[in-house]
Amino acid sequence: MLDWWLPENVSTYGRDIDWLFHLIYYITGITAILVFGTMLAFLVMYRDRPGRKARYTHGNTTLEIVWTVVPALILVILTLLSVPAWSRIKMTMPDTDFVVQVTAKQFNWQVIYPGADGKFGTDDDKTLLDEMHVPVNKVVRVILKSQDVIHSFFVPQFRIKQDAVPGHEIRVWFDATKPGKYEWPCAELCGFGHSGMRGWIYVHTAEEYQKWAAENLKTAAAPGATVEAKAEEPKAEPHKEEKAKK
């Protein structure tokens, strides 16, 4: 019902996020209306009038217990309801042969493709600035780093937001379901150029991506170049990451 004001969801796990977002939004929205409505009503009902005396009260123990226990219960229930999404998105790292490294810095996203050898930190790495190209319907793993301060990897349509923390390598993943060009802003105030720190993620069809990779990565074994070769016998892929560590 509230979908109209969220950006379009093009992520395989977007619905898991959205329904939680809406649930929390309804709960807090209704609570806000009740609290402010009561406050306004009391302001009018108990306003100063001639002949009316102020009365001292010690409060109401039952009421206080109720308004403490009910929100606590709601929080516990919300936590339990969030567990499936959290474990699917954050605790699980789907297998993929498409791995890119993103290093955030003031005030750019540096995107590194591993090149033909499938390894990062070698001569054939290809670095792009503020743009990432990926195929549609493909699990993309991002190794997220920061060169200086805390930044935040945010793609609203992918329902992904993850801080990039100096000294840490954080793995995140997404699987975009619709080709397009998606805004990729930094969502953590990271300095005077923060508002200008944004990139674009281009989600291509498999053929388009291969074409782009052939022209821009200039390597035969660019990540994702094997999308159409799925039926072939699985061979050990050199650039497949080891099982992700938590």
Minimum separation from the CB atom of position 148 to Cu ion (A): 9
Q: Does residue 145 bind Cu ion (CB under 5 A)?
A: no
Minimum separation from the CB atom of position 150 to Cu ion (A): 8
Q: Where are the beta strands (DSSP E) in the chain?
A: 99-105, 108-113, 126-129, 131-135, 139-146, 151-155, 160-164, 170-175, 180-185, 198-204
Q: Does residue 190 bind Cu ion (CB under 5 A)?
A: yes
CA angle, residues 104, 131, 86, in degrees to nearest 5: 60
Extract the tokens encoding 107: 């005030």
Q: Does residue 197 bind Cu ion (CB under 5 A)?
A: yes
Nearer to Cu ion, 127 or 205 (CB): 127
Q: Does residue 159 bind Cu ion (CB under 5 A)?
A: no
Minimum separation from the CB atom of position 186 to Cu ion (A): 3
DSSP state of 34: H
What is the three-class DSSP state of 44?
A: helix
Q: Which of 102, 142, 186, 217 binds Cu ion (CB under 5 A)?
A: 186
Q: Does residue 151 bind Cu ion (CB under 5 A)?
A: yes
Of the candidate spans 14-22, 35-43, 135-143, 190-198, the one that interacts with Cu ion by CB under 5 A turns out to be: 190-198
Residue 150's contacts (CB-CB under 8 Å, 6 or more residues apart) are: 163, 164, 165, 166, 188, 190
Q: Does residue 164 bind Cu ion (CB under 5 A)?
A: no
Nearer to Cu ion, 186 or 213 (CB): 186
Q: Would you list the DSSP string of 48-86?
A: --TTPPP------HHHHHHHHHHHHHHHHHHHHHHHHHH
Nearer to Cu ion, 176 or 186 (CB): 186
- Where on the chain is the footprint of Cu ion (CB under 5 A)? 151, 186, 190, 197
